[in-house]
Chain A
Amino acid sequence: MKQTFLDGIIKNNMVLVLAIGLCPALAVTTSAYNGIGMGMAVIFVLVFSNLLISLLRNIIPKNLRIPIFIVIISTFVTIVDYTMQAYVPPLSRQLGVFVPLIVVNCGILGRAEGYSYKHPPHYSVMDGLGIGLGFTIILFLMGTIREILGQGVWLSIPGVFPGFQVFGEAFTNSSVILMILPPGGFLAIALLMGLFNHIRMHK
């Protein structure tokens, strides 16, 4: 069970290894806080959809499974969407259309089809936690790189906390704005993926 969890984080990492869930990974990671918020939403959906599908795996008919998976996943996505709109409205506005779009994150449907439809509930929950955490870590790293270079601060939360000053005032006033614009997202993930490949090759 511990292995299932660890595999989810590294060996089956959604973004770096499988290159899935790229849209939210690039779109919302203008700050570390947004990255964590998106990651949490995905963890919730993954864990609960994995649990429910695994509990129902003997009842769901084989040739109807995909539409049923989609309905289950979109139910949990709707729950997350409305909960975030109610309790963290600024975050919900920042993530925008990407919260309801968790439905079409092929990683979640992929886990339903490839893992939880064939494994007992406790393993499926562990798998959901591992995959979700692996995704969150990458989003957090992307957000960290882009926020520090693009704004000079780290872990800022709009309206609550201005963030840690990383390079001092002078940098903040003339930061690399490119990094929080769309090209910066592509650049950050390219370098992160390259670094990951490099570490894997020289291990």
Chain B
Amino acid sequence: MSLFLLFISAFLVNNIVLMRFLGLCPFFGVSSKIETAIGMGMSVIFVMTLSTIITWFLYRYILIPFDLIYLRTVVFILVIASLVQFLELFFKKQIPGLYSALGIFLPLITTNCAILGVAFLNIDSDFGLISSIVFAISSALGFLLALVLIAGIRERLENAPIPDALKGLPISFITAALMALAFLGFSGFMGLSL
């Protein structure tokens, strides 16, 4: 698959949140304001790309040669957790501007299943390094897109009359259902299927 098709597939057709159901906790947790949604999305782009590069090299050059594939779950989660910790310390010391913008979202990212999910999907689809990086960046962009869209809708929902039982999360789920329905329209786009 060409890289451009891979980008469209991961960004729209198989959108990581709405079609693959990865990263739902931050999708509903930090989507009540557009600014926080953008901050979270940016952090995810950054961490997802870095963690994909690291896990790809680890898997190819350490886990496969030493026949340790069964350790991949343990190794990947530890790598991601330490990467996030390291980035937090690094930003705090070296780039305080970026830290104040993304800092509060970084600890939340360790338990974002999209990061680990993309690392596994890269391996299961047998991607090379360049394809893995493109897949990670476009998945993260898709996450940012979905997050900003739902944040915009939820800001407007605050003043809407909603039945008591559906206030809060349930109405957000219904919103997400309608968004997923819209994204379903992309399937078949440029010959890409779900």
Binding site for B on A (CB under 8 A): 19-20, 22-23, 26-27, 66-67, 70-71, 74-75, 77-78, 81-82, 96-97, 100-101, 103-106, 109, 178, 181-187, 189-191, 193-195, 197-198, 201
Residues of B within 8 A of A185 (CB): 21, 177
| B120 proximal to A (CB < 8 A) | yes
Asked whether, in the complex, the Cβ of B23 is within 8 Å of the Cβ of A23, the reply is yes
Which of these, A81, A105, A182, contacts B18 with CB under 8 Å? A182
Residues of B within 8 A of A67 (CB): 78, 81
Add 5 more A-B contacts to A103-B77, A181-B184, A184-B177 (CB < 8 A). Answer: A22-B21, A22-B24, A27-B21, A181-B194, A189-B173
Asked whether, in the complex, the Cβ of A23 is within 8 Å of the Cβ of B165, the reply is no
Which of these, A66, A74, A81, A201, contacts B165 with CB under 8 Å? A201
6 closest residue pairs by CB, A with B: A190-B173, A186-B177, A27-B21, A198-B165, A183-B180, A22-B24
Which of these, A19, A78, A182, A197, contacts B28 with CB under 8 Å? A19
Stretch with Cβ within 8 A of A (4 or more), from B48-56, B90-98, B108-116: B108-116
Do most interface residues of chain B lie in helix, strand or loop, or is the interface mixed? helix
Residues of B within 8 A of A181 (CB): 180, 184, 194
Asked whether, in the complex, the Cβ of A187 is within 8 Å of the Cβ of B184, the reply is no
Given the complex of chains A and B, what is the CA–CA distance between A106 and B24 in angstroms?
12
Residues of A within 8 A of B70 (CB): 78, 82
Asked whether, in the complex, the Cβ of B177 is within 8 Å of the Cβ of A97, the reply is no
Given the complex of chains A and B, what is the CA–CA distance between A81 and B111 in angstroms?
19
A103 and B170 contact, Cβ closer than 8 Å, known pairs A67-B81, A185-B21: no
Nearest CB in chain A to that of B187: its residue: A181
Asked whether, in the complex, the Cβ of A187 is within 8 Å of the Cβ of B174, the reply is yes
Given the complex of chains A and B, what is the CA–CA distance between A187 and B166 in angstroms?
12
Residues of A within 8 A of B184 (CB): 181-183
Given the complex of chains A and B, what is the CA–CA distance between A156 and B112 in angstroms?
32
- Least CB distance, A187 to chain B, in whole angstroms: 4
| B176 proximal to A (CB < 8 A) | yes
Residues of B within 8 A of A184 (CB): 177
Indicate with 1 or 0, residue by residue over B171-185, a CB within 8 angstroms of chain A CB atoms. 101101110110010
Given the complex of chains A and B, what is the CA–CA distance between A182 and B20 in angstroms?
8
